[in-house]
Chain A
Amino acid sequence: MDLVISIFEQGLIFAIIAMGVYITYKILDFPDLSVDGTYPLGAAITATLIASGINPLLAMLVSIMAGAAAGLVTGLIHVKLKVRDLLSGIITMTALYSVNLHIAGRANLPIFNTTTIFNNGIVNTIFPGFLEPYKTLIIIFIVALLAKLLLDWYLKTKSGYLLRAVGDNPAVVTSLASDKGTIKIIGLMISNGLVALAGSVMCQQQRFFEVQMGIGTIVIGLASVIIGITLFRKLRMVKPTTAVAVGSILYKACVALAITYGLSATDMKLVTAVLFLIILVIAMERRTRRKKLA
């Protein structure tokens, strides 16, 4: 039972990352590696702020804004300096490693016994005894659901339409007298804001920040997106945001099973990589997207 709860907790936190990666990878067709830096960025900021007694909700808000700012940097490097998409993300990711260390002040910052969204006066009293083991899961679920609903809403706005259009057919955006570069930057900001939010939640759930925690974030995000989208390809009523969230939980379940049945935690990244490869091959993701025009 503990294992199942843990899978759902981890899966739902990574569902937020998957939604961010869905924006860049699926909508914008932009393989954004910044997330490997913005995920721990959210955690570093949250750990630092919470350790100094700041309200955890405020810490989450600051994390989102910092993530969005990092997305803005990636976007500006790509759009204004005309650096290739993959490289723009790598530059931001690399720079953020140092930034994260500076923010936290060290490579590992624990926040045990502090006020977090999982441990505060309100949630400690409203949850009745029998729900206590699920408290963390329920709170994560609410955060993930809010993120999903917000993103669903945004994608239905005028601005959201343009975001979808720019990945679909940039020529249409130009002919609508809109700057496709600006739209891409907005997409990267939302994406990285979400990823930093996930980092903030993860940091509060595991009660520490660790500078290495970002490594492989993009792989897990991509795997979740690809599992989700492939699984629900035929069902148009399932929103992509829901699909990638389910993908994320399934992915975490696969990794957890692999670890439970014999593989050590040391093999974690190896399992992650091999699993990702298997998913890629099964999903036949090999350039099924029509070659982009223009």
Chain B
Amino acid sequence: MLSLEHIYKTYNIGTINETCIFEDFNLAIEDGEFVSVVGSNGSGKTSLLNIICGTIDVDSGNTLINGVDITRMDDFKRYRKIGRVYQNPAMGSCSEMTILENLSMADNKGKSFNLKPGTDKRRIDFYRDNLRQLGLGLEDKLNATVGSLSGGQRQALALLMSTMTPIEFLILDEHTASLDPKVAETIMELTDRIVRDKGVTTIMVTHNLRYATSYGSRLIMMHEGKIILDIKGDEKSRTTIEDLLGIFNRISIECGN
């Protein structure tokens, strides 16, 4: 269970660019939920993820995982329980290192990075099996540097790396947004499969309303730092893309766009 309680966050306090993102923001996510988060640009979706991961600090309020307050915890410590895939496929892996080296590092998450050999040769078959399941032919390219892969291949690898070790939360930050439609589809199906297999609690920010409606168990729409729609179960499965677009248009008119 992840909860954000009474979060306040303002960027550039005391300057002309002062922007209030969150004012008494509250959200609770149950274990095993797959939450899709949609909303216009600047609605606070990515800030929400950054607050959960500790990338940015909050002005006040608390972040709790299973009741434990992690508001002041360093970002890297939070990642013991969190896996994250970014919009930019390059963010999830090291381009000058090989696929094998990247996977070896991911496999060692949560353990000590000591003076033992970086790659455990006994694990190579396991990595190869994992790569084969991606269906992108990466299993034959273990020694290729990641920089030589396409965006889709890199994103698939990033997804694999972030979910390789047991994690409690998977954070997906528009992770299909920079891919072509076909590859985006592949990555989305892959995501769904991994989330189901691992039963990991997932928060996915997306601009793709179809993904938001057809995947996941809960849907949240954000606007100006507030949750304006929060549906799950039957209510979610009845909601169509048109319904969501309708709400979007209504907000836009209210804002005078």
Q: Please give the residue numbers on chain A whose beta carbons come within 8 Å of chain B beta carbons, in ascending order.
A: 154, 156-162, 164-165, 168-169, 171-180, 290, 293-294
Contact = CB atoms under 8 A, between A and B. Distances in A.
22 contacts: A156-B117, A156-B118, A157-B116, A157-B118, A158-B108, A158-B115, A158-B117, A159-B114, A160-B118, A162-B113, A164-B96, A165-B94, A171-B92, A173-B76, A174-B76, A175-B83, A176-B109, A176-B113, A177-B77, A179-B74, A180-B76, A293-B91
B202 interface: no
Main secondary structure of the interface of B (DSSP, over half): loop
Contacts of B96: 164, 168
Contacts of A157: 114-118
Given A174-B76, A178-B113, A293-B88, 15 more contacts: A156-B118, A157-B116, A161-B104, A161-B105, A161-B113, A164-B94, A164-B96, A164-B101, A165-B97, A169-B93, A172-B91, A177-B79, A178-B76, A179-B74, A293-B91
B112 A293 contact: no
A2 to B, nearest CB: 41
B86 interface: yes
Nearest to B96: A168
B94 A176 contact: no
B3 interface: no
Contacts, number: 89
Given A164-B97, A165-B94, A175 B116 contact: no
B236 interface: no
Nearest to B147: A290
Interface string B84-107: 101010111111110001101110
A178 B76 CA distance: 6
A171 B91 contact: yes
Interface in B132-167: 162
Contact of B118 (A161, A174, A176, A294): A161
Contacts of A162: 105, 113
A67 to B, nearest CB: 20
A229 to B, nearest CB: 12
A158 B118 contact: yes
Nearest to B80: A177
A158 B113 CA distance: 5
Contacts of B104: 158, 161
B75 interface: yes
B100 to A, nearest CB: 11
Contact of A176 (B79, B97, B114): B79
Nearest to B120: A158
Nearest to A172: B94
Contacts of A179: 74, 76
B110 interface: yes
B91 A174 contact: no
B108 to A, nearest CB: 6
A206 B95 CA distance: 43
B79 A158 contact: no
Contacts of A159: 113-115
A163 B79 CA distance: 18
Contacts of B80: 177
B163 to A, nearest CB: 11
Contacts of A161: 97, 101, 104-105, 113, 118
